[in-house]
Amino acid sequence: MTLQHRLKMFGILLLGGCAAPGSAGAEPALPFKTEIIADFDAPWAMAFLPDGRMLVTEKRGQLLLVAADGKARQVVSGTLPVDFAGQGGLMDVVPAPGFAINHLVYFSFSERGPGGKGVVLARGRLVESGGARLEAVEVLHRATPYLPGNGHYSGRIAFSPDGQYLFYANGERQKFTPAQDPKMSLGKVLRLTLEGKAAPGNPLAAKGFDPAIWSYGHRNILGLAFDAQGRLWEQEMGPEGGDEVNLIAPGKNYGWPRVSNGRNYGAATDDIPDHAAGDGYEPPKVSWNPVISPGGLMIYSGKLFPKWRGDAFIGGLSSQALIRVDLNGAAAAKGDQWAMGARIRDVEEGPDGAIWVLEDGGGGSQGRLLKLTPRG
């Protein structure tokens, strides 16, 4: 990010009038109370189980089963070896549809393999007798191809509202052109069966694409979520500028790296054309310049914050913020941006409607888990 962009972002944070949770005299400006629940080592994702407990991933490779109040935790054994470097490690974790009966947990991670590194989708059955562990762990999907480098894995997981399909994000691994290559899974949203196979009826298979591809032309997708009407939303990091929120439609091309509302790092001019009407690419519903560096995406459905029901919440990494996006049917607009004083890696809704945020654990933060509830 250029110095000019950094100064712009700093100005936005100052105008927001909010400082880090707990800082003297500043927190009352936030519309929520902040409770510190737990602290982790470079966490990446969290997910609630039906009984209110949580699964939390740490990038180094640990999967943790955490009590609902955060006071007790145990390591879940049985995960597969990860390549912990750069943006890689143990990433997303999501309980399966029907978890209360089948106890299946899906997770993603980066690994080394022929040609370099890639992102893997796997699942296992959570067993707690004699210690928490995953049994019958199996790899369901590997990104293609594996490439050198430690960035843009993506690895986000979301299940369709009917529980029949798994949507899975593959980043373009900082290599640009794979996002437009029909034979590669990189830079794509995939629609898979629950067993990790290409789902029947995917829109681009008949055109010679990898049969798992649902949409393409993506950069680094770090959030996938369905709204109450069954629409799939995603957020992805742009280059220098151009972070995006997109409404994902089957078979559509979202443009990267041919168009973007940002520019390549270090470029003196806007070297990538902006999205424009009639260019053949799906434009973002919302974009940011200066960037927010989005991490995690949640669409709120709870009762504690009724005026935000149906809105999207995004964790901000370089912006050190929690961002709200107004969703109105298929339209979206910028809402609030609250300074949190730490990089926010993930955001989830708790069983009681509280908003939970997970700090990244880098840039001076400890990787804390915070619970946000209404003031008063």
Q: Which residues are bridge partners to 54 per DSSP?
A: 48, 66
Give the span between the Cα atoms of 300 and 369, in whole angstroms.
18
Side by side, which strands form the sheet with 54-58?
A: 43-48, 54-58, 63-66, 73-76
Place of tokens 């034979």: 183
**Contacts with 123 (C-beta within 8 Å, 6 or more apart), sequence order:** 96, 104, 105, 106, 107, 137, 138, 140, 196
**Contacts with 96 (C-beta within 8 Å, 6 or more apart), sequence order:** 102, 104, 105, 106, 123, 159, 194
Q: What is the dihedral of CA 52, 110, 361, 317, to 10 degrees?
A: -100
**Contacts with 176 (C-beta within 8 Å, 6 or more apart), sequence order:** 256, 257
152 a catalytic residue: yes
* DSSP track, 20-51: STT-TTTGGGSSEEEEEEEE-SSEEEEEE-TT
Written as six digits, the tokens of 284 are 């973002």
Query: Could you tell me the sign of the dihedral formed by the alpha carbons of 271, 274, 277, 279, in that order?
Result: positive
- Cα–Cα distance list, 129 to 51, 125, 126 (Å): 17, 12, 10
SS3 322: strand
Give the span between the Cα atoms of 373 and 354, in whole angstroms.
5
What are the b/e assignments for 266-297, b being 16+ CB within 10 Å? eeeeeebebbeeeeebbbbbbbbbbbbbbbbb
Q: Which of 141, 152, 218, 275 is catalytic?
A: 152
Query: Is residue 46 a contact partner of residue 55, using CB atoms and an 8 Å limit?
Result: yes
Active-site positions? Answer: 152
